Amino acid sequence: MVEVKIDLPEGFDIVKKKNILLMAIILATLINRLTQTTGYEDLSDEEIKSVLELDSIVKEDIFKHYTDG
């Protein structure tokens, strides 16, 4: 497991503003760079089954927006 520690300087404007979204974008970029160096796999049948179970729950709630009112 890789642990990423980022030490931000005190004068870093983003820290002062506490802009969480910007911080998340910076974090996302760093993580994306890390993941680009590793291999990628498709899901196993078991994983697809698990994903589709969750998907059914999420889709049901999306669907409600298109039928209610």
Partner 1 sequence: MRFIVNTSVMISALIKKKSISFRAPTETKHELYIPEYSIEELIRHIKKIEERSELTSEEILARIILIINKIIIVSKDKVILHMHEAYKIIGHRDTKDAPFVATLLAIGGDGIVSYDNDFEEITKYGYVWLKPNNLL
Residue 59 binds partner 1, judged by CB under 8 A: yes
Six-digit token string for 61: 């709630």
- Applying CB under 8 A, among 13, 46, 57, 68 the residue interacting with partner 1 is 57
**Alpha carbon distance 28, 20 (integer Å):** 12
Cβ neighbours of residue 31 under 8 Å, at least 6 residues apart?
4
Interface with partner 1 (CB under 8 A), residue total 30
Contact residues for partner 1, defined by CB under 8 A: 24-25, 27-28, 31-32, 35, 38-43, 47-48, 50-52, 54-63, 65-66
